[in-house]
Structure formats: structure tokens, C-alpha cells
Amino acid sequence: MSSPASHWVGIDWGTTHRRAWYFGGDEQVVRHADDQGVLACATHFADSLCGLLQRLSAPADSTVVMAGMVGSATGWQEVPYLDAANPITAWSRQLVAIDGAERWFIVPGCCWQRGDEVDVMRGEETQLLGAWMLAPHDGWYVLPGTHSKWVELRGGRVVQLRTCMSGELFALLSSHGTLAPLMQPTTGGDPLSHPRAFEQGVQAAQRRALSRELFGCRARVVTGRLPRDEAGAYLSGLLLGAEWHEALANGLPRDAVVRLIGSPVLARLHAHCAQMLGPTTVTLDIDAVQTAAWHALGACSTEALA
């Protein structure tokens, strides 16, 4: 049988999508992405994973480390959240084995609490670990996406965690409800194809309640103050601007360096917000970050098998 130390797989297994990396011998890396998220695999996780290993040409006895919604209550096996007070480097040593499968592991998510506030993440904690393994830096991190994560690290620990549903809200508002008829695809899918409208949205997010400013997007279009083809850019700026103004109101210094971990398109939007509001951004290579995380997690899974 092949050695689990030389053949292992990392999987970011989300609600609707799944991304996998196979690390074989001689630095071989094979990547695969599909739409087999936890919702699609609800009754056959083990069979789905075996099929994935075949597509990756990975040995059947490879060690597998999984992160994301696969460890949620709706996933394969629920894994409790780890307290954010743990150093992020300790997260890789808290892997939970799948019942009846000694070489398949799930990474616990992270839970942050302060007073009446509570927030959680599953999956993004691996990217934070990867960023730390590449270059340890305390400070602020933004992981944009369907549910954007804002994280402050001190001493290698999460001292603030705030989730914003901006991506989900944009998708819902663009396809349902009052604003949907106004939405037209921006050029190339990039809100910065209409920078002025995007910036107006960022600025508007500071003025009044978000629910009021959302209707204001409609009011601007129907009164002719905002061209219909710029409504999507304005809405994007409004939602992302709300994230930034909220962060600035909760401790983010205007001279902070914020590290962005996400797709290039979303990172550019957040960098533009920062340029308007004061902070500096550094965009980390998402592939390098995720690869570093899997290397750290793969090493710990090998230790767990020793």
C-alpha cells in the first residue's frame, strides 16, 4: 500500500461546490472542481469521495483532509467548532476522523464570542492558516465571498470575526424583489466597469440604514439620477461599502494594512473600497494560501495516523 505521507488529498467541500487538491509524490499536484457540494451528496458522501479520488487519480488509501460545510450539521459528519481563543496553528492539530474511516479527516470550524456577539466560520479557517504559514502577520484579514469574513488576528489568535452576507444579498436582490428588474449585467461582470456608480454606492452606505439605502438604489434609477445599466455597480458598492464602514466603526484603523484572501475580482472591489476610505490592502495569492494550508493539514493528518 502507498504511504499516506506521500499521497494525500485536501478538499474544500462547500454547500454547492467542491474543490480538491491531490498531492502525490515528487511535488505532483492535481486539482479538480465540481458542483458536488454537501447538498448534492447528502445521502452518499463516502461513494462521492471515492469517485473523486478516482477522478484525481489518487490511490484509494490516500489520506483525505476536508474543510467547509462537510463538517456542519447538514454535512457528512458534524464537527464541533473550536474556540477562537486557540492559536490558529493549533487548528490543524484538532482534526476529527470520519467515523469508520481512519484516514479521512474533517477540519473543525471556528467560533468567536464576545459578550452577546457570536460568529462562526467553516472552511475559511484553512485559508487563514495557510496565510499564516506563508508569512505570519497579525492584523486584519478579509475573505470575500458569498459570506465575507472579516478577521482580526492578535498573537496568532482570532480576536474579532464578523461575517457579512453581501454576496448572498447581491445575488438575491439581483434576481428577486424590487431591485431585480433594474439589474443588468455589468460589463464583463465587473462593477468597476462603472467606477463612479460603485463609489457612489460605497459612500451612500455610510449615510443611513442599509435597508433604506437599498431602496434608494431604485429611487435613483426611476428618477433618472442613476443609469439603469449602472444599478448593479451601485448595489455592489453599497453592500461592500457597508462592510467597510461597519469594520471602521468596530476597530479597523484607517491606516491599517488589510490582507485580502479571495478571487481576484472580489479582491479588486475590496481594494477599491479601501483606497476610498483610507486602509491599505495586500492581496494574497489564493492558490498559494490554500496550498500552504493543505500542506500544514496534511502533515498533521500524517501525525494523527502515526
| 144 backbone φψ class: left, alpha, beta (φ>0; ψ -120 to 50) | beta
What are the pLDDT digits (tens) for 29-67?
899 999 999 999 988 999 999 999 999 999 988 999 999
Mean pLDDT, the chain, rounded, equals 91
pLDDT of residue 6: 63
CATH topology of domain 8-135+287-305: Nucleotidyltransferase; domain 5 (3.30.420)
Task: Band the pLDDT of 190: cuts 50, 70, 90.
Answer: confident
Backbone angles phi, psi at 111, to 5 degrees: -120, 125
Domain ranges of the chain: 8-135+287-305, 164-284
**Residue 303 or residue 20, greater confidence:** 20
Q: Which residues of 234-273 are buried (b: 16+ CB within 10 A; e: fewer)?
A: bbbbbbbbbbbbbbbeeebeeebebbbbbeeebbbbbbbb
Query: Model-level pTM greater than 0.85?
Result: yes
Choosing among 3.60.20.10, 3.30.420.310, 3.40.47.10, 3.40.50.620, the CATH entry for 164-284 is: 3.30.420.310
- Which residue blocks in the chain are alpha helix, DSSP H? 45-55, 88-91, 124-134, 166-175, 195-204, 210-222, 231-249, 264-277, 286-305
Mean pLDDT, rounded, for 102-114 = 94
> Same fold for the domain at 8-135+287-305 and the one at 164-284?
yes
**How does residue 305 score in pLDDT terms, banded at 50, 70 and 90?**
low
CA 76 – CA 282 distance, rounded (Å)? 35
